[in-house]
Amino acid sequence: MKNFVEALILYYILFYSWFAAPGFSPEAASSIPFSIDQALNRTFAYSIPALALIWYIVLGKKSFFALKPQNPLRKDVFSLAIGFPGLVFIGIVISLLVTLFSRYFGLSEPPKIEAPHGLAAWIVMVVLCLGTGYLEESYFRYYLLTKLDNYNLPSRVILSSMLFALCHIYDGPFGITNALLAGILLSLLFIRYRSLHGIALAHGFYNIFVYTMGIFL
């Protein structure tokens, strides 16, 4: 129970309190333009300190397992090679469902993500996406799946994926579903390969893919 409470407190501090803050309402807009200033602020004022806090906690506790040193590059490549196409596939299917159900049932579509403009903006976007990938995978997969080791594996996967999906509540039901399925996939890959870098890069590359698709929308 103590481990569960600590995990929820850390979740609230790092994730829920951020998107629940007053004035944070991306769902009010039909599209979200990319802003270098906002991206840099999020990276240096949020992502980096939050990532540092997670790993300060992880490295200070002997109860956490170490990533297996055997063939780490191969494990990273395998989880990345499965994870990135899997996330893209889930995203495309959800996008098709958005088009279908919003048309026939009058549901609102999630805001569209606009692509960056200019080389500097693209570089900042890549840094932002990779930082977000490492932050979220460090907590939702590495930290959470290990911290709650007194729970059975299916329960940990479901809890991790549900908390991850809750962070995307502003995307509406389709965004939540997308995040839930993505969370389950990334959890299973982490359990199978014990690779943080592979799933973090898959997550980051998928975020980059989403911004890149903004060119065609």
- Residue for token digits 């594996």? 153
Mean pLDDT of the chain: 86
62-71, 94-103, 186-195, range with the lowest pLDDT = 62-71
Q: Domain map of the chain by residue range?
A: 75-217
Which residues face 112 on adjacent strands?
Answer: 31
pLDDT at 130 exceeding the cut of 90: yes
SS3 82: helix
Which candidate, 210, 159, 205, places its Cα nearest to that of 180? 159
Mean pLDDT score, 102-121: 80
Instruction: Give CA angle at 125 (122, 130), nearest 5°.
Output: 130
Phi, psi of 7, rounded to the nearest 5 degrees: -65, -40
Query: 215 pLDDT band (50/70/90 cuts)?
Result: confident
Q: How much is the pLDDT for 47?
A: 93
Diameter of the chain measured on Cα atoms? 53
Q: How much is the pLDDT for 137?
A: 96
Task: Tell me how far apart the alpha carbons of residues 137 and 190 are, in angstroms, rounded to a whole number.
Answer: 9
Mean pLDDT score, 206-215: 93
Task: Tell me how far apart the alpha carbons of residues 90 and 114 are, in angstroms, rounded to a whole number.
Answer: 20
Task: Tell me how far apart the alpha carbons of residues 194 and 87 are, in angstroms, rounded to a whole number.
Answer: 18
pLDDT tens readout for residues 145-156: 988 878 888 999
Which candidate, 147, 150, 151, 158, places its Cα nearest to that of 187? 158
pLDDT tens readout for residues 152-184: 889 999 999 999 999 888 777 888 999 999 999
Q: Which residue has the higher pLDDT, 129 or 151?
A: 129
pLDDT tens readout for residues 15-67: 876 555 444 454 445 678 899 999 999 999 999 999 999 998 888 776 666 55
